[in-house]
Amino acid sequence: MGYFKIDGPVSLEGDVEISGAKNASLPVLAASIISDSKVVIKNVPDLLDVRTMIDILRSVGMEVSFNRGTVEISPAASPNTDVPYELVRKMRASFNVLGPLVAKYGTAKVALPGGCSIGVRPVDFHISGLEKMGFEIEIEHGFVIAKKKNVKSARITLPKPSVGATEHLMTTASVLDGIDTVIENAAMEPEIIDLQEFLKELGVEIEGAGTSIIRIKGGVKSKKAQHTIIPDRIEAGTYAIAIAATQGKGRIKNLVPEHLNSLWEFLEEAGVSLKFNENIVEISMDERPSPLNIDVAPYPGFPTDLQPQMMAFLSISRGTSHIRENVFHSRFLHVDELRRMGAKIELSDSVAIIDGVEKLSGAPVNGTDLRATAALVIAAFMAEGSSEIHHVEHIFRGYENIIEKFKNLGGRIEYIEVNEYVD
Ligand code: EPZ
């Protein structure tokens, strides 16, 4: 347990290298369950969530090594398909091992994910999709028990373009030899395209990722698959917003710029100057931003995972901005904390109305979830005076080497360990 101590204001300046994508690594690691031979996955970020997924694969009986960004995984000799609750409780994405396990081994038991601070996180689309594919699902005592009965071809239409449900059903369908599965209203995030590339490396016939219709003809052909994870667009967007919000100047390196087109459009509208050169984006800003009206939407719309960070940036805009959160309607726990730093934000339904103020002031604040805590880090660099960000562990779930990366940009940031039980 510990907290960040950050002194502001600072204009962040310099270069930042982007790591591999957390939200591509997790589905690819879960999909490694379906391989009959060794897989090698490169550019995997060293994050708490990645380590939790690796612990889950090890609990299944798979051999997993993780060194300097490369994960090597060998199949389980005698698999255990009853995933420990304490691992699933830590990370909702763990639920996505249910389908690959039951498809490959005939049965699986995984805890239902709980809620979390960004709102209710149901898995009904996952369960109804698996049932359409012929799996028998029972839910009891907070666990989902799945059995492979008469699996069959299915056309699954998702009620919403759910990232997790799309990935879960793609991976499960990939195991069903010779069976055709179609997923309609699929999510179109770049991480889904990355998962498709990995499944193709396992010999699966799959196409359509990145569009709303994905077609899979199941069948894993055992060959040693190797895959390199795409850069993390949300990490990249977080640093881009941090440089702009602190009126700094810097280069974001090793990203895929077109994965963030919606963010670039809004930053330019706010007055930020951007220069693109292959996998580098140069950012500079020398004034308070113009106000914006943002509608969060599934990809390629403005990402919900950058909503809190953008709210910190707009808290000092020269006017009134609106952010409508259309994915997780109650993803606003960072609002009270930003208010403690002087931000003027009102909430009505799922819209945040942000009246820009001259500046923020440093304060002790509380991190509630991964991206909310990232927003508070940005606000602390913007603010006059010193801030403490408590429950900061959330940040280590999704931002590799964050302290070093912000220090390289001139940020004054320290992590203070707190010995929980000081006698
Ligand atoms: C993924 O979560 C990401 N996590 C989230 O990033 C991201 O915010 C989210 O997609 C949206 O982009 C990972 O990839 C590991 P969804 P996921 O299913 O899959 C509803 C971060 O900070 N829904 O696309 O859980 C759901 O309630 C995290 O890195 C159902 O109703 O999100 C939401 O309103 C936070 N039933 C909408 O769909 C279901 O069965 C989109 O959720 C599934 C989802």
What does each of the 423 residues of the chain score in pLDDT, given as a tens digit? 899 999 999 999 999 999 999 999 999 999 999 999 999 999 999 999 999 999 999 999 999 999 999 999 999 999 999 999 998 888 999 999 999 999 999 999 999 987 677 777 899 999 999 999 999 999 999 999 999 999 999 999 999 999 999 999 999 999 999 999 999 999 999 999 999 999 999 999 999 999 999 999 999 997 789 999 999 999 999 999 999 999 999 999 999 999 999 999 999 999 999 999 999 999 999 999 999 999 999 999 999 999 999 999 999 999 999 999 999 999 999 999 999 999 999 999 999 999 999 999 999 999 999 999 999 999 999 999 999 999 999 999 999 999 999 999 999 999 999 876 655
Task: Determine contact, residues 210/188, Cβ cutoff 8 Å.
Answer: yes
Compute, in angstroms, the gap from residue 92 CA to the centroid of ligand 1: 9
Helix axis angle for 333-340 and 370-382, nearest 10°, is 20
- Check pocket membership of 124 for ligand 1, CB cut-off 6 A: yes
Q: What are the boundaries of each domain within the chain? A: 2-19+231-417, 22-228
Whole-structure pTM value: 0.97
* Annotated catalytic residue within 116, 137, 193, 357: 116
Which of ligand 1's atoms lies nearest the C-alpha of 164? 19
Q: Which of 53, 156, 163 to mutate to test the pocket of ligand 1 (most atoms within 8 A of CB)?
A: 163
Q: Which CATH class is domain 22-228?
A: alpha beta
CB of 164 within 6 A of ligand 1: the answer is yes
The CATH number of 2-19+231-417, from 3.40.50.1110, 3.30.499.10, 3.65.10.10, 3.30.565.10, is: 3.65.10.10
> What are φ and ψ of residue 405, in 5° steps?
-65, -40
Q: How far apart are CA 115 and CA 124, in angstroms?
A: 13
Select from 49, 118, 160 the residue to mutate for testing ligand 1; criterion: most ligand atoms less than 8 Å from CB: 160
Residues contacting residue 165 through CB under 8 Å, at least 6 positions apart: 123, 125, 126, 129, 158, 187
246: Cβ contacts below 8 Å, ≥ 6 apart:
8, 9, 10, 11, 12, 378, 381, 382
Pocket test for ligand 1, best of 19, 23, 53 (most atoms within 8 A of CB): 23
Atom in ligand 1 nearest the alpha carbon of residue 160 = 38
Q: Whose CA is nearest to atom 18 of ligand 1?
A: 162
169 CA → ligand 1 middle, Å = 14
Measure 244 CA to ligand 1 centroid, in angstroms. Answer: 27
**Which tokens in the block code for residue 310?**
């953008």
Distances (CA, A) of 151 to 81, 196, 222, 258, 349: 19, 21, 21, 38, 42
Is residue 371 in contact with ligand 1, taking CB distance under 6 Å?
A: yes
Q: Do residues 374 and 308 touch, judged by C-beta distance below 8 A?
A: yes
DSSP 8-state assignment for residue 229: P
For the question of residue 116 being annotated catalytic, the response is: yes
The DSSP annotation for 22-54 comes to HHHHHHHHHHGGG-SS-EEEES----HHHHHHH
The reply to whether domains 2-19+231-417 and 22-228 share a CATH topology is: yes
Identify the bridge partners of residue 70 per DSSP, sorted by sequence position: 67
